[in-house]
Amino acid sequence: PAYGRWDPLDCGGGDRGEDSAGAEEEDDEDPGDGGAGFVGSHLVDQLIGRGHSVIVVDNFFTGRKENLAQHFGNPRFELIRHDVVEPLLLEVDQIYHLACPASPVHYKFNPLRPSYPFNLHEDSSSSSAFLREGVFFLGFSPAASFLTSTPATAAVAAHKTNVVGTLNMLGLAKRVGARFLLTSTSEVYGDPLQHPQVETYWGNVNPIGVRSCYDEGKRTAETLTMDYHRAAALEVRIARIFNTYGPRMCIDDGRVVSNFVAQALRKEPLTVYGDGKQTRSFQYVSDLVQGLIKLMEGEHVGPFNLGNPGEFTMLELAQVVQETIDPNAKIEFRRNTEDDPHKRKPDIAKAKELLGWEPTVTLRRGLPLMVSDFRRRIFGDHAGDGT
């Protein structure tokens, strides 16, 4: 019922695969697009391109059917509208479970965005995917409750997605004997006391804070995943994804890269929260997708950090955005959000060694690809494609 509320400018609706910088074509088809969400859509492109059969399950609350349009009519592609908080019966071989609201704007009250939750249609969430002979892909987010929710109920919906949704997907994987991949997050490290973060670090997470529905939810999802692995001998994989950016991100979902890029393009000041000295490590989406596929196809459970070790303060990020889009873009400082992690940078030695994976796209190379996409979506198809 909420489908008609999404504004094509806000989410998805981007290009059609030309953005997969660094992506390899392995099998007989081109990478397409995919799974209505941000990461999910790029993943589906690759999976279809590799010859898999893909079933996307998505409720379209944050993703867009349009992101999948290039696969319509392909006999190896199927799309089901479904909320994964509800049980689901399907026969598949692999499940990529990406479900959960991924931007803080989706799961907590942001005092800087007082119009929340009425602009939640701008968000993204996550997707879950299932593979059969290839792939069954499931997109997934906090669902309808967002549309009428208060911040508190949005957080509960987010947590439900992480916990009940993951449980359902694990139950499905167990019933059909599918391999299950959880897209966890660097947020499981909380405000880390170790730097860079290694997979053996247990984290520093506030269990009762505004971010807890996300980071504790993901920690529970990891626990459930390992419990099913141990108790039901389920084949599982866990990826801890660090901040990822690229084409098809929701334009106004509140994440820092999408905010800065949209602000610079619209000639608005870049909003730096706090003193801007907090750090993040930004990974281009095609690198992540390669890592997810290598993890799924490999022999190791994980968890594996999947991220780009290049570390930037938010002020440095703002500077790269200025250099890329508009050197005259102004910076405006705003109050930071609660429990904001001070620094974050992945140690990817384990992924390098066991998966043979490492990112190849630097921020300065990846950002222009995203800018082209945002420019098109904000200003229209004929808005010029330069960066």
Query: Residue 92 touches which of ligand NAD, ligand UDP, none (CB < 5 to 8 A by kind)?
Result: none
Task: For residue 97, count CB atoms less than 10 angstroms from its CB and return exposed for 0-12, middle for 13-18, buried for 19 or more.
Answer: buried
Binders of ligand UDP among residues 198 to 217 (CB under 6 A) are none
308 to 327, contacts with ligand UDP by CB under 6 A? Answer: 314
The answer to whether 210 touches 359, Cβ cutoff 8 Å, is no
Does position 52 bind ligand UDP by CB under 6 A?
no
Which phi and psi angles does 38 have, rounded to 5°? -70, -70
Q: Which of 7, 24, 26, 87 binds ligand UDP (CB under 6 A)?
A: 87
Q: Are 225 and 99 in contact (CB under 8 A)?
A: no
Q: Which is nearer to ligand NAD, 65 or 174 (CB)?
A: 65
Site for ligand UDP in 341-360 (CB under 6 A): none
Q: How many residues bind ligand NAD (CB under 6 A)?
A: 35
* Tokens linked to 249: 């991100």
Judge contact between 34 and 137, C-beta under 8 A. yes
Asked if 271 touches ligand UDP (CB under 6 A), the answer is yes
Q: What gap in Å lies between CA 367 and CA 57, rounded to an integer?
A: 29
224 binds ligand NAD (CB under 6 A): no
DSSP sequence for 33-60: --SSSHHHHHHHHHHHHTT-EEEEE---
Q: Which residue has the tokens 């806000």?
A: 10
Supply the DSSP string of 83-109, one letter for each residue. Answer: -TTS------SEEEE--S--SHHHHS-
Catalytic residue from among 116, 214, 245, 284: 214
72 to 101: interface string for ligand NAD, x by CB under 6 A: ----------xxxx------------xxx-
Residues lying near ligand UDP in the complex (CB under 6 A): 87-89, 103-104, 167-168, 171-172, 174-175, 243, 255-256, 259, 271-273, 278, 280, 314, 336-337, 340
**Which residues are identified as catalytic?**
214
Q: Which residues bind ligand NAD (CB under 6 A)?
A: 36-40, 57-63, 82-85, 98-100, 102, 124-127, 139-143, 161, 183, 185, 241, 243-244
